[in-house]
Amino acid sequence: MQAAEIHFGRGVFWGVQYHPEIGLDEVAGALRRQADGLVEAGLAAGHDDVEAYAGQVETLHREPGRRDLAWQLGLDEQVTDERLRRAEMRNFIEALGREGLLAVGK
C-alpha cells in the first residue's frame, strides 16, 4: 500500500492507492462481472479461467487463514486479515476525531 498526506489551507487529505473497505468477496464478484473484458484483454484464456480465479478469491474470503490460496494469489495478511487491511482507514478516522474534524452527529 502507498499513502500520502496532503495539507492544503486548513485541510488535510489522506490518500491511499487501494480500497481496503472492499472485501475479497466483492473482488471475486467484480472479476465475474468483468469476465468478458478480462478475456478480451488476454488476462484470462476463457471464462472458465476467470471463474476458477474468482472462486479461489472467494474461498480465501471465506477462509482467510488459507495460506496456500493466499500464496497462489500473491496476497499477504495486509489483504487477507480484515483488521490489518482496514488499519489505515481506522487511523484516519481516529486522527480526524483527535483533531476535532470528524463531523459525526453534527
How many whole angstroms separate alpha carbon 40 and alpha carbon 89? 35
- Express each pLDDT in 46-98 by its tens digit: 999 999 999 999 999 999 999 999 999 999 988 888 887 777 778 888 888 88
Domain ranges of the chain: 1-20+86-106, 22-85
Residue where the block lists cell 492507492: 17
Closest C-alpha among 74, 78, 35, 34 to residue 56? 74
Answer yes or no: pTM beyond 0.75.
no
What cell was used for 4? 500520502
How many whole angstroms separate alpha carbon 89 and alpha carbon 75? 19
In DSSP terms, which residues pair with 82 in a beta bridge? none
